[in-house]
């Protein structure tokens, strides 16, 4: 736990940003072969579009499991920084996983929530966050003290740089728009898994 705990920020006053833009801002800051788990749908599509890192894992189903998968990687490789990118609809399916992360407290884990208040990929139906549910408040409530809203792009960069450098677990939430993703991931699960394991230096 860092000496100075960050203030949570505020969803309502946070700028509405763009998922692909933020994903690129994240990826350009990865210099230590950090593992990134892209949640189902647009979240991993924009991760794919941001460049083919062998340390990226793309989920093609199992909605809600980006955080648990990232937690497993973080436990197996405590020296490596691991980032889960999850949408608001996805994290709402598995809120308990934030509590599990809080309980274990892996210092190398970062959760990034892309919140557009919308089940965008199924036609834009509103999620609970559109009605006021606050993912950062939930995360803090289950014990993730270092959970924050990114106020704008510069704030996102500052917070992500700190999360990449200092002990976690961290949760950064960003409000995003409903622009479509920049590309679509190639749907080849066995290849995705094999490339990811090689990218992590794992031999079976």
Q: Which residues bind other proteins (CB under 8 A)?
A: 35, 37, 57, 59-65, 67-77, 80, 94, 96-97, 99-100, 104, 189-190, 192-193, 196-197, 200-204
CB of 69 to other proteins, least distance (A): 4
CB of 104 to other proteins, least distance (A): 7
Nearer residue to other proteins within complex by CB, 1 or 104: 104
137: alpha, beta or left? (left if phi > 0; alpha if psi -120 to 50): alpha
CB of 96 to other proteins, least distance (A): 4
Nearer residue to other proteins within complex by CB, 108 or 147: 108
CB of 7 to other proteins, least distance (A): 28
**Euclidean distance between CA atoms 121 and 119, whole angstroms:** 6
**Residues 163, 172 contacting (CB under 8 angstroms):** yes
CA-based torsion, 121, 46, 39, 195: positive or negative: positive
Are β-strands 35-38 and 125-126 bridged in parallel, bridged antiparallel, or unpaired? unpaired
Nearer residue to other proteins within complex by CB, 60 or 130: 60
Nearer residue to other proteins within complex by CB, 74 or 150: 74
Per-residue H/E/C for 158-186? HHHHHHHHCCCCEEEEEEECCCCCCCCCC
CB of 168 to other proteins, least distance (A): 16
**Euclidean distance between CA atoms 129 and 108, whole angstroms:** 27
- In a 3-state reduction of DSSP, which class is residue 57? strand
Nearer residue to other proteins within complex by CB, 6 or 99: 99
CA 65-130-49 angle, 5° bins: 50
């Amino acid at each position: 736990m860092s000496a100075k705990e960050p203030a949570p920020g505020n969803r309502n006053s946070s700028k509405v940003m763009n998922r692909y833009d933020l994903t690129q801002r994240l990826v350009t800051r990865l210099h230590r072969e950090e593992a990134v788990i892209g949640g189902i749908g647009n979240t991993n599509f924009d991760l794919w579009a941001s460049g083919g890192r062998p340390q990226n894992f793309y989920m093609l189903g199992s909605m809600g499991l980006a955080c648990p998968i990232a937690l497993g990687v973080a436990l197996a490789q405590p020296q490596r920084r691991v980032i889960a990118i999850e949408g608001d609809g996805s994290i709402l399916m598995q809120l308990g996983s934030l509590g599990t992360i809080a309980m274990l407290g892996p210092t190398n884990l970062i959760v990034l929530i892309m919140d557009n208040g919308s089940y965008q990929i199924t036609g834009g139906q509103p999620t609970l966050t559109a009605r006021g549910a606050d993912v950062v408040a939930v995360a803090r409530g289950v014990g993730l003290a270092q959970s924050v809203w990114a106020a704008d792009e510069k704030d996102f960069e500052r917070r992500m740089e700190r999360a990449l450098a200092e002990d976690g677990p961290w949760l950064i939430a960003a409000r995003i728009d409903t622009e479509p993703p920049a590309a679509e991931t190639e749907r080849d699960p066995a290849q995705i898994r094999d490339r990811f394991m090689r990218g992590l230096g794992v031999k079976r």
